[in-house]
Amino acid sequence: MEGVDHLAHERNKTEFDVDAMKIVWAGSRHAFELSDRMARLVASDPAFRKDDRTRLGRKELFKNTLRKAAHAWKRILELRLTEEEAGQLRKFVDEPSFTDLHWEMFVPAIKGQGTDEQQQKWLPLAYKMQIIGSYAQTELGHGSNVQGLETTATFDPETDEFVINSPTLTSSKWWPGGLGRISTHAIVYARLITNGQEHGVHGFIVQLRSLDDHMPLPGITMGDIGMKFGNGAYNTMDNGVSKFDHVRIPRNQMLMRVLQVTREGKCVQSNVPRQLIYGTMVFVRQTIVANASTALSRAVCIATRYSAVRRQFGSREGGMETQVIDYKTQQSRLFPLLASAYAFRFVGEWLKWLYTDVTQRLQANDFSTLPEAHACTAGLKSLTTAATADAIEECRKLCGGHGYLCASGLPELFAVYVPACTYEGDNVVLLLQVARFLMKTVSQLDSGKKPVGTTAYLGRVQDLLHCCCDVQRAEDWLKPGVVLEAFEARSARMCVACAKNLSKFENPEDGFAELSADLVEAAVAHCQIIVVSKFIDKLQQDIPGKGVKQQLQNLCYIYVLNLVHKYLGDFLSTGCITPKQGSLANDQLRSLYSQIRPNVIALVDAFNHTDHYLGSVLGRSDGNVYPKLYEEAWKDPLNDSVVPDGYHEYVHPMLKQQLRNARL
C-alpha cells in the first residue's frame, strides 16, 4: 500500500534522538544540511533516474551517463553551487562517469604537483570544464609497482620538448577512467630521461584529443578496454587504453613543482620539498576511507530494513511468522556490519584531521610524522575497503534469494565498490608497506627513538609483552582501558614475533618475502587498533541528543568484541587473553545484540539515505517491498511480449519434434 510505513512498528521502538544521530553521522550540522539538500535535489530530478540502468546495453548506458554528467554540470552552473555542494551533487547522482577522475585526480594532481604558473594556466580551464582530464598512471604491465612503469618522456633540447613514447605493448596506459572515449587531456606518468639519464617517474600534462572535433591527436591510439564486472556498475565509465608514438609536448607541460627541467635539459630540485606530494596521497586515501563507510552504510541499510520486513518460520497457531532480524544468526552477521559502518565513519573523520595536521607540518618543513601518516593511511585504506567489499556481499546473502536481484541494489553496489580493493594501491601491497614501517619501528626501539602517532603504543612494548588481561566478568569487556590493552598487546606481540623471525635471515629481503603472510596479519592487527581507538576517542566527546551516546557505545563494543571473536586465534596464540575471557567476550556480544535490536532501523535511518540514492526495492524506507518487487519484475524487457523472440525459431520446432527441419 502506498503511503503506509510498513516499518513504523520498528521506528516506534527507538530509544534515542534520530535527528541528533544524523548530525553525528554527517560530522556536523553544516555537513548534514548540505548533503541532505543535495540528495533531495538529485532524487527529485527525473533526469537522474537510475532504476533502468541494469537493463541498458553498453552504448545506451554510456550515452545515458554522458547525458547525466552534462545535466549535473548544467544544474551546478544554474544553481551556482560551491565546490563542496557540486561534489555532493555528483556523489548522489551515483553513477561512475568520465568526470570522476577529472575532479578527484586530475585537478588535485595539478594543484599538488604543478608550479604556480602551471596552476594559473590549467586550473581555470579544468574548473570550467573547458578541458576534461584523466589520470594516466597504470599500464597494461604495471600497476602497484609505479617505479616499473615503461612509458618514457625523453627531453629533446633542440626543440625544447618532451617526447612521450610507449616503447612496448605492456607500456600502454590501461584503466584510466574517461581516457577511453571522452578525456581531452591527461596527466601521463612516464620515466623522465634527459641527456641519456633517467630521473624516475614524473607527471606530464598531455593533450589527447582535438578540442574541435574530438579526434585523437597524431601519434595517440586510444579506446575503451571493454566490459567490466556487473550489469551497469562501472560499465558507465569509459576506462581506457592509450599508446603514444613519439608524441611531442612543450617542456612546460611537465609538472615541475618539485623537480624542474631547464632549457638545457638539466634537472634542478626546487625549494619545495618532494614530501609535499605525500600530502595529496593522504587526502586521496582519507576520501577512500570515508567512501567505504558510505558504501557499507548503504548495504547495511538495505539488509537491515529488509530483515525487519521479511518473515520466515516460527508461526504459532496461525500467527505471524518471525521477523528474520530476530534470529540470532542474522543478528550476529548483520549487527557487526552496522557497527563497522559507524567505526569507519569516525576513523574517516579522524583522517580528515590527520590530513590537515600533515599539511600544516609539511608547510613548516616538519616531516617527522610523515612516514607514520603514510603507513597509517595505507593500512586504513586496505582495512576499510576489504572489509566493506566483503560486507556488501554478506549483506546480499543476508537478504536471501531476493538479494541476488538487481532490484535489491546490492549486486550493483558490490560491482561498483569492489575495485576500491585494487585502485590507489592493491590492498595486500599496502599492508606490506605498513608491515615494513612496523618492522622499522620495532628495530629502532633499542636506539631510544620513540614511536609516534598510531604506533606510540610500541614504545611500551616491554609492558605489553608481559601484561595480563584482567577481564573477570563479561561486562569488564566494556572498559576502554581493557579493550585497548588487549588490542595493543596482541599487535605488539605479533610485531615482535615477526621481527625476531626476520632477524634469522641473512638477507632481510629474503625474510620479508618468506614471512609476508605473517607480516600482513601483523599489519591488520595494528590497523584495527587505530579504528578501535578512534571509536573510543569519539565516545569521550560531548555528544548531544537523548540516548545517542549510549547507542554509539553499544555499536563501539559490538565492533570491538566481534573483532575479538573473529581473531580469537591471534588473541589466544599471543597469550593476550585466556579462553575463558574469549568466552566472556562472546557473552557480552550477545547481550549487546539484544540491547541494540530495538534501535537498528533508527540507526540505519540516521544515515539519511534517500530511496533514490539507495536504489533498492528491498531497502525502501517505507518497507513496502513485495508489491514493488512484483511491479519491478514487469519492467524487464523480456516481459515486453507474451511470446518471447526466438520462440518460433527454436522452441516451437523442439516441442513439435521438428528440429530436423528447423533452420537454426
CA–CA gap between residue 232 and residue 236 (Å, rounded):
6
Q: Which candidate in 424, 488, 506, 631 is catalytic?
A: 424
Residues in the chain, total: 664
543 phi and psi, to 5 degrees? Answer: -115, 105
Contact between 97 and 183 under an 8 Å Cβ cutoff? The reply is no
Measured distance CA(474)–CA(596) in Å, rounded:
17
138 is in an annotated binding site: yes
For residues 109 and 203, the answer to whether their CB atoms sit within 8 Å is yes
**Helical pair 58-78 and 83-93, crossing angle rounded to 10 deg:** 150
CA–CA dist 584, 474 (Å, integer)? 5
508 touches 543 (CB < 8 A): no
* Separation CA 526–CA 492 (nearest Å): 8
Sequence-separated (6 or more) residues with CB below 8 Å from residue 457? 451, 464, 488, 491, 492, 529
Q: Is 2 a catalytic site residue?
A: no
User: DSSP for 295-306?
Assistant: HHHHHHHHHHHH
Who's near 420: CB < 8 A, 6+ residues apart?
288, 291, 292, 295, 385, 388, 389
Q: Give the DSSP per-residue string, 153-183.
A: EEEETTTTEEEEE--SGGGSEE--TTTTTT-
Residue 18 CA to residue 536 CA, distance in Å, equals 21
Owner of C-alpha cell 610507449: 166
Q: Is 646 annotated as a binding residue?
A: no
Q: What is the largest CA-CA distance in the chain?
A: 92
Grid cell locating 312: 520466515
Tell me the binding residues: 138, 177
Residues classed as catalytic: 424
Tell me the binding residues for FAD: 138, 177
